[in-house]
C-alpha cells in the first residue's frame, strides 16, 4: 500500500468530508485557483490596454498548478505570511523576460487569495449542492410516503401528543430547502477581490474600474462596487449559510439517532455493511447520524471564528484576514460531508410504522389527555377540565378512570371518550401542513 503524505487526513478527514467536495479543497485545487486569479488579472489588464495580449497569454500559459510544488510554496509562505508572495516569485521567474514586469501587476496578495477562495467555494459548491439536493429530495420522499403515518411527537424529551412521520420529515425537508437557498445565494454573491495595496486601484491609473470588472468577468465571479479587503460581509454571509446547513443536517441526524434507539426503534439506518461494532456483533449503529451530528457540533466554532475575525483594521487587516482561511475551508469540508451523509441516511432510511403505533399506544391513551380536556372545556371551563383530566392520568387505566368519573360522563359518552382517545382524531392540520411543505419545495425547485 502506498503511504499517504498526510496520514491524519487519510485516517480521520474522510469521516467528516465528502470525496468530491474535498477534491476541490485540496492544496492542488487551491493552488490552481490562485493561478487562475493571476491569469485573469493579466487578461483583465490586456482588456484595459495596459499590457499587450501576448504578454497576458504568456503569463496565463504558466498558470497551471502542476508546474509548482504546493508543499514548497507552503513552506516559503511562512516568511511572507501568505502563499501568494512565493507563488508570484515563482511565476515571475517562469515567464519569458518581457512578461515578468506584468505578473501580479497592480494587485496585492489579498486580491489573489480572496478571489481564489471565492473560486474554490464556487467550485466546491457544485458537488456540495448536488448532495444537498439529494438529501432534500429524500426528505420530500419520506414526507410524501408517510404523510399519514401516525407517531408520537416528543417535547422536552417526553412523549407529548400524536403527530405524523410525514410532518416530521416535512420539517426536515424545509430545513434543508432553506439551507440550500441561503447557500446558493451566498455562493452566487461572492465577489472577486481587486483593490491593490490599499483598495484604491492606483496601480491601474484611470483604468482601475475597467480592470476590476474584467477581472471578475474572467473569473466568473460577481463584481463588487468596492474592494472588500476589510469589509467581510461576503465571508460572513457564506459562513452563516454553511453553519445553517450544518444545523439543518445536524437536527435531522439527531432525530434519526434518537428514533433509532433500541427502546424506540421507529427508524433504522440502511445500507449494507454499515454500523458494525468492534466489540458487539449484534449492533448496527446509526453511523451517518453520528458523523453528521459530529460535524454539526464543530460548525458553530468555525462560524464563530469567522465572525470574530471580521472586525479588521483600516484598509488591511493584521491577522483577522489570515484567521479566515482554514476555518472557511473546514466549514466547506464539514458541510460537504454532512450533506452527502444526510442524503445517504435519508435515502436508505427504514421506517417502522408498527413500532411507531406501538409506542403511541404504550401509555394507554395518556397522549390524548389534551384532546379529552378540550372536549370537556366548553362545559367545565378550561382550567377545571384540565385538572379533572390530570387526576385521571394518575390511574392505572386512563380510559377506565375517565369513564368512571361522573363529571366526565355528564358530558361525554363512552363513544365520545373513545373518539377523544383515537390518535387519528387529534392530528390537527398535519396532512395539510405536509402538503404545504411539499408544495413549497416543489415550487422552489421547479
3-class secondary structure, 142: helix
Supply the pLDDT for residue 203: 96
* Phi/psi at 26 (5° precision): -75, 175
* Residue 29: closest CA among 242, 333, 289: 333
In the block, cell 511565476 appears at: 91
| Residue 222 DSSP SS3 | strand
Tell me the pLDDT tens digit for each residue of 148-197: 999 999 999 999 999 999 999 999 999 999 999 999 999 999 999 999 99
Residue 330: pLDDT band by 50, 70, 90 thresholds? very high
Lowest mean pLDDT among 95-99, 243-247, 409-413: 409-413
Does residue 187 carry a catalytic annotation?
Answer: no
Cβ atoms of 190 and 277 closer than 8 Å = no
**Which secondary structure element, helix H or strand E, spans residue 161, and what is its range?**
strand 158-164
Which pLDDT tens digit goes with each residue over 205-239?
999 999 999 999 999 999 999 999 999 999 999 99
Place of cell 385538572: 387
- φ/ψ of 248, rounded to 5, equals -65, -45
Sorted by sequence, the CB contacts under 8 Å of residue 134 that are 6+ apart come out as 343, 347
CB neighbours of residue 116 within 10 Å: 24
Average pLDDT value over all residues in the chain:
93
Q: Which of 61, 144, 154, 316 is catalytic?
A: 316
Q: What are phi and psi of 350, to 5 degrees?
A: -100, 125
Helix (H, G, I), strand (E, B) or coil at 43: helix
CA distance 436 to 444: 12
The label of the residue with cell 424529551 reads 157
pLDDT band per the 50, 70, 90 thresholds, residue 390: very high
Averaged pLDDT, 322-336: 98
Give the confidence band of 86 by pLDDT, cuts at 50, 70, 90. Answer: very high
Residue showing cell 479566515? 324
- Decide if 298 is catalytic: no
Cα angle, residue 84 at apex, residues 9 and 30 outer, rounded to 5°: 35
E strands, 325-413, in order? 350-351
pLDDT the model gives residue 435: 97
High-pLDDT (> 90) share of the chain, %: 86
**How confident is residue 273, by pLDDT bands cut at 50, 70 and 90?**
low
Is-contact 257 341, C-beta < 8 A?
A: no
Which carries the bigger pLDDT value, residue 11 or residue 81?
81
| Residue 381 exposure: Cα atoms within 13 Å on the Cβ side | 3
Average of per-residue pLDDT across 248-258: 98
Cα 355-359-365 angle, rounded to 5 deg: 140
Q: What is the pLDDT of residue 445?
A: 67
In this prediction, residue 444 carries a pLDDT of 84
Q: What DSSP designation does 268 have? A: E
In 3D, which of 286, 290, 298 has the Cα closest to residue 247? 298
User: Do residues 68 and 90 lie in contact, with contact meaning Cβ atoms separated by under 8 Å?
Assistant: yes
Domains of the chain: 19-107+198-224 (1.10.275.10), 112-193+228-362+429-446 (1.20.200.10), 366-420 (no CATH)
Checking DSSP bridges between strand 158-164 and strand 350-351, what pairing results, if any?
A: unpaired
State the Cα torsion 184-186-189-192 to the nearest 10°.
Answer: -120
151 and 163 Cβ atoms separated by less than 8 Å: yes
Is the pLDDT at 277 greater than 90? The verdict is no
- For 401, counting Cβ atoms within 10 Å of its Cβ (0-12 exposed, 13-18 middle, 19+ buried), the class is middle
Residues 286-302: tens digit of each pLDDT: 899 999 999 999 999 99
pLDDT band at residue 23 using 50, 70 and 90 as cut-offs: very high
Q: What does the block give as the cell for 321?
A: 484576514
Within 8 A by CB and 6+ apart from 12, the residues are none
Distances (CA, A) of 250 to 39, 102, 129, 246, 331: 40, 48, 17, 6, 14
Has residue 340 got a pLDDT over 90?
A: yes
* Torsion of Cα atoms, 351 then 357 then 362 then 368, to 10°: 120
Which of 277, 397, 413, 429 is flagged as catalytic?
A: 277
Amino acid at each position: 500500500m502506498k503511504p499517504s503524505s498526510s496520514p491524519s487526513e487519510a485516517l480521520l478527514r474522510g469521516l467528516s468530508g465528502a470525496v468530491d467536495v474535498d477534491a476541490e479543497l485540496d492544496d492542488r485545487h487551491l493552488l490552481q485557483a490562485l493561478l487562475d486569479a493571476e491569469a485573469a488579472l493579466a487578461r483583465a489588464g490586456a482588456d484595459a490596454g495596459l499590457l499587450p495580449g501576448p504578454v497576458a497569454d504568456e503569463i496565463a500559459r504558466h498558470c497551471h498548478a502542476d508546474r509548482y510544488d504546493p508543499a514548497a510554496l507552503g513552506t516559503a509562505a511562512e516568511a511572507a505570511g501568505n502563499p501568494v508572495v512565493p507563488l508570484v516569485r515563482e511565476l515571475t521567474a517562469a515567464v519569458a523576460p518581457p512578461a515578468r514586469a506584468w505578473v501580479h501587476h497592480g494587485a496585492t496578495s489579498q486580491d489573489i487569495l480572496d478571489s481564489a477562495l471565492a473560486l474554490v467555494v464556487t467550485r466546491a459548491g457544485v458537488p456540495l449542492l448536488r448532495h444537498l439536493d439529494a438529501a432534500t429530495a429524500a426528505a420530500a420522499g419520506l414526507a410524501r410516503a408517510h404523510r399519514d403515518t401516525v407517531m408520537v411527537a416528543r417535547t422536552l424529551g417526553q412523549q407529548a401528543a400524536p403527530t405524523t412521520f410525514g410532518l416530521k420529515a416535512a420539517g426536515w425537508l424545509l430545513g434543508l430547502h432553506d439551507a440550500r437557498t441561503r447557500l446558493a445565494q451566498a455562493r452566487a454573491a461572492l465577489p472577486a477581490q481587486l483593490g491593490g495595496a490599499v483598495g484604491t486601484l492606483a496601480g491601474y491609473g484611470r483604468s482601475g474600474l475597467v480592470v476590476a470588472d474584467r477581472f471578475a468577468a474572467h473569473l466568473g465571479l460577481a463584481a463588487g462596487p468596492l474592494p472588500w479587503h476589510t469589509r467581510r460581509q461576503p465571508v460572513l454571509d457564506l459562513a452563516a449559510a454553511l453553519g445553517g446547513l450544518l444545523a439543518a443536517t445536524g437536527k435531522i441526524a439527531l432525530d434519526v439517532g434518537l428514533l433509532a434507539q433500541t427502546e424506540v426503534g421507529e427508524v433504522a439506518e440502511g445500507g449494507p455493511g454499515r454500523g458494525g461494532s468492534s466489540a458487539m456483533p449484534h449492533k448496527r449503529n446509526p453511523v451517518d447520524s453520528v458523523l453528521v451530528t459530529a460535524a454539526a457540533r464543530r460548525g458553530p466554532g468555525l462560524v464563530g471564528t469567522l465572525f470574530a475575525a471580521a472586525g479588521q483594521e483600516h484598509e488591511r487587516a493584521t491577522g483577522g484576514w489570515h484567521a479566515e482561511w482554514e476555518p472557511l475551508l473546514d466549514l466547506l469540508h464539514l458541510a460537504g460531508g454532512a450533506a452527502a451523509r444526510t442524503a445517504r441516511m435519508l435515502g436508505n432510511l427504514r421506517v417502522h410504522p408498527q413500532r411507531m403505533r406501538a409506542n403511541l399506544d404504550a401509555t394507554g391513551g395518556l397522549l390524548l389527555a389534551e384532546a379529552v380536556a378540550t372536549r370537556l372545556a366548553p362545559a367545565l371551563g378550561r382550567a377545571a377540565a384540565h385538572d379533572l383530566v390530570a387526576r385521571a392520568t394518575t390511574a392505572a387505566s386512563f380510559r377506565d378512570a375517565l369513564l368512571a368519573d361522573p363529571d366526565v360522563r355528564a358530558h361525554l359518552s363512552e363513544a365520545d371518550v373513545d373518539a377523544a382517545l383515537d390518535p387519528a382524531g387529534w392530528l390537527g392540520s398535519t396532512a395539510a401542513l405536509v402538503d404545504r411543505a411539499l408544495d413549497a419545495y416543489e415550487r422552489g425547485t421547479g
